[in-house]
Amino acid sequence: MFNTLQKVARELNKSNIRWAIGASILLKEYKIINKVNDIDIIVDIKDVKKLDSILKNIGIRKEGNENLNYSTKYFYEYVVDGIDIDVMADFTINHENGKYIVLLDEKSITSYKSLNGVIVPFMSLEDWYIIYQLIKGRDKKVSLIEKYLKENGIKHRELIERALVKDLPGNIKSRLENIIN
């Protein structure tokens, strides 16, 4: 899987695309989980067409299924070297109070890792703590991230604070306020 990530990263970086890794690979990077099933990439909406072209050149784009839990503008699925890759631009999660749009900007890309000299950008754990609370069925991952944040500290408090001004369900706002206080 990491050979495929390295290959994809090399191509995306050559094209100056703003992108970052999230989900299970991010959690594995923090040693929160051990098993990774696919690669999840969040991409800046201005770069989604370039990314689509690159991934179609090195892999196969699958036909996507609509999911009513999301209003993501661009959700693409690819297979590169036998590895599933999900790509989201303008990643939007529907919830009982409305919609939560995941920002991908310079603040949300909080770390970089070199894979044999190829730089891979990672989103913040704090952003994924919020995202997983909004996605149904991710309670286990939320608990694992929360435990990690409590034991190791919150490194990007400002990301939680900027989420708190958005339209989030009350229980999630309370949980976020509790973890930063």
Which one, of 114, 118, 124, lies nearest residue 8 by Cα? 118
**pTM confidence score:** 0.95
Q: Which amino acid would we find at residue 105?
A: D
Q: Which secondary-structure segment (H or E) carries 8?
A: helix 2-14
- pLDDT for residue 151: 98
Query: Using CA atoms, how far apart are residues 74 and 87, in angstroms rounded to an integer?
Result: 8
Contact 135, 149 (CB under 8 A): no
Q: Give the CATH number for residue 90.
A: 3.30.460.40
Q: What is the pLDDT of residues 113-149, one digit of tens each?
A: 999 999 999 999 999 999 999 999 999 999 999 999 9
Residue 30 lies in domain: 2-180
| Interatomic CA distance for residues 66 and 128, integer angstroms | 22
Which residue do the tokens 């989103």 mark? 123
Distances (CA, A) of 26 to 30, 34, 42, 127: 7, 11, 12, 11
CA distance 123 to 101: 14
The total of structural domains in the chain comes to 1
Q: What are phi and psi of 97, to 5 degrees?
A: -95, -5
* pLDDT the model gives residue 84: 98
- Residue 71 contacts residue 92 (beta carbons within 8 Å): yes
> Minimal CA–CA distance to 53: which of 78, 90, 71?
78
Percentage with pLDDT > 90 across the chain: 95
181 residues of the chain, pLDDT tens digit each: 999 999 999 999 999 999 999 999 999 999 999 999 999 999 999 999 999 999 999 999 998 766 778 999 999 999 999 999 999 999 999 999 999 999 999 999 999 999 999 999 999 999 999 999 999 999 999 999 999 999 999 999 999 999 999 999 999 999 999 999 9
